Amino acid sequence: MDRLLRQLSQLAITVFGIVTVTFFLVRMIPGDPAQYMLGDYATEEALATLRAQLGLDQPVYVQYGLYVLRAVTGDFGSSVVTGRPALEEILFSLPDSAILAFAGLAVAVVIGIPLGILTAERQGSWSDMLIMIVALFGISFPVFWLGLASVLLFSQELKWFPALGASSGGGLLTHLHHLVLPAGVLGISVAAYITRLTRSAMLEVLGQDCIRVARAMGVPERRVVWRLALKNALVPILAIVGVTFAWSLGSAILIEVVFSRPGIGSMILKAVSARDYQLVQAGVLVLAVAVVLVNSLLDLAYGLVDPRLSTR
């Protein structure tokens, strides 16, 4: 219970810090939301009216105070472009982002962890070298390049999958059909990262005394690697998955742009260029909560994997 409370208070402090930093950072970008909305023909009166309506005529610290007061009651303001509640707009695009991030992560875990174990097991062999080189390429190639290349190959040439990463209707199968390429590309780029880190974690564990003892006692190698070593390496691997979740959310922005897939990433990007302050803040808040929550869940999972950690 204490542990849960501590986790929750850490979560609250982290989110508050992130939102505050975002609030001031966004306002440091030059440019006027009113000007953006009203465009080239706007008169000074029209601009002043809109600024007053948006509360932008107040000093920044007053805006901040009002923002925090409202946020506590769950009111994160309205998008200056569409006039709709900012949090509502962000939450509307949350499922798209979450599906992509989790599908990508699933692909990455399914590919990355077994490959990482395999390479650790066969350290120095040609297959280890080959996989590590491929993984290096996977990390080095920009996600958007992989995305465009996969669209050209699988969509344009082979016509197996649609070029667009989201469908506007149809059943589950149609949605899955549209999801394959974006999730695959995101998964592969993250898998390379997971492979390398899993390999290091496994190598470290495989070098430990307990493994030598197990081997000396004649425990079958498969059991040594997949049960003993993997169990010990699972904590760092889980930590890697937590880190890569945040990282894959970042990559998801590029995926969303290349595959024209709606999501929080592309929405925040658009909101930044439109100086849509409320939408940027709501978006960053939701992302921050997602990352912190996933990491907190993983923290709790460490305890299950390794009981020593839960008593710390």
> Could you list the residues that contact another protein (CB under 8 A)?
29-32, 35-47, 49-50, 53, 78, 81-84, 89, 92-93, 96, 121-123, 148, 151-152, 155-156, 159-164, 166, 168-170, 174, 177, 215, 220-222, 257-260, 262-263, 266-267, 270, 273-275
| Nearest CB to another protein, comparing residues 3 and 84 | 84
Q: How far is the CB of 104 from another protein (least distance, A)?
A: 18
Asked if 274 and 33 touch (Cβ cutoff 8 Å), the reply is yes
Give the separation between CA 259 and CA 278, rounded to whole angstroms.
Answer: 26
Q: How far is the CB of 273 from another protein (least distance, A)?
A: 6
Q: How far is the CB of 3 from another protein (least distance, A)?
A: 36
How is residue 84 written in tokens?
A: 């709709």
Q: Within 13 A of 11's CA, how many CA atoms are on the CB side? A: 19
Residue 106: Cβ within 10 Å count: 12
| Nearest CB to another protein, comparing residues 149 and 304 | 149
Q: How far is the CB of 43 from another protein (least distance, A)?
A: 6
| Nearest CB to another protein, comparing residues 50 and 71 | 50
Q: How far is the CB of 123 from another protein (least distance, A)?
A: 8
Give the distance from CA 170 to its chain's centroid: 27
Give the separation between CA 188 and CA 248, rounded to whole angstroms.
Answer: 11
| Nearest CB to another protein, comparing residues 178 and 196 | 178
Length, in residues, of the chain: 312
Query: In a 10 Å sphere around its CB, with 0-12 CB exposed, 13-18 middle and 19+ buried, how is residue 180 labelled?
Result: middle
